[in-house]
Amino acid sequence: MSKIDPRDRMIVALDLPSVTDAQAMIGKLGGSVTFYKIGMELVYAGGLDLVRQLSSNGKKVFLDLKLHDIPNTVEKATQRVADLGATFLTVHAFPQTMKAALKGKGSSSLQILGVTVMTSYDDSDLIEAGYAMGVRDLVAHRAQQAKIIGIDGLILSPEEVGSMRALVGSSLTLITPGIRPKGSEKGDQKRVMTPGEAISAGADYLVIGRPITSAGDPEAVANAVVDEISSVLG
């Protein structure tokens, strides 16, 4: 497994309704968190400036925008995201979209992550949407295409990480949400793993939101997650 600091492997999802709430959470977490995920909710509430602020304060940002549009639009949008200083950007794992995003990132340090199949989809949703294969096959198909196209990494559910690591090898960065430290509420996540289990299964990075942001002492939970990651990595 690549040499990434255990603390940098924990990405805290700032799924909060306003920039003020997000800034308060970042303040509470202090030095315990080095990597944040900013998604559509916060971006549409004015969170893009926060990407710049966090980047210039030495934090890393995963911008979860799940881009999908015609190649020219994806390429230009990716160029602008690279200018913001983000580390990761998500796009839907369609070949045209992935190729356009890779072109757009150019020589910047931005890494493009493919979302294979949304975890809210099951086989019947794919049939309804006109696909001729089930979730498992479509995830594998897209992961293989993503690797050939040269994408930097993939977002996967915890239960897909092990088989996808075997399929794509060590060249792709694998990131998983659905992380729940022992004893924490599952909320709406159905298939979860503990931080240690997900790292052992082959994940490079973990996305974790509510177990940290809804905790009475977010900093203590963040530090406990990092300790668990460190103990698995030895």
Binding site residues, ligand C5P, CB under 6 A? 13, 15, 39, 119, 155, 157, 177-178, 187, 189, 207-211
38 forms bridges with which residues in the sheet? 63
Closest CB to ligand C5P among residues 17, 187: 187
**Residue type (1 letter), 78:** T
208 and 176 Cβ atoms separated by less than 8 Å: no
Concerning whether 28 is annotated as a catalytic residue, the answer is no
Q: How far is the CB of 43 from ligand C5P (least distance, A)?
A: 12
CA distance 23 to 88: 20
61 forms bridges with which residues in the sheet? 36
Q: Could you tell me where the DSSP H helices lie in 30-157?
A: 40-42, 48-56, 71-84, 95-105, 123-128, 135-149
Closest CB to ligand C5P among residues 81, 208: 208
Closest CB to ligand C5P among residues 110, 117: 117
Number of other residues whose CB lies within 10 A of the CB of residue 87: 17
Give the active site residue among 3, 28, 59, 66. 66
In the numeric block, the tokens 């970042």 are attached to 26
Closest CB to ligand C5P among residues 62, 75: 62
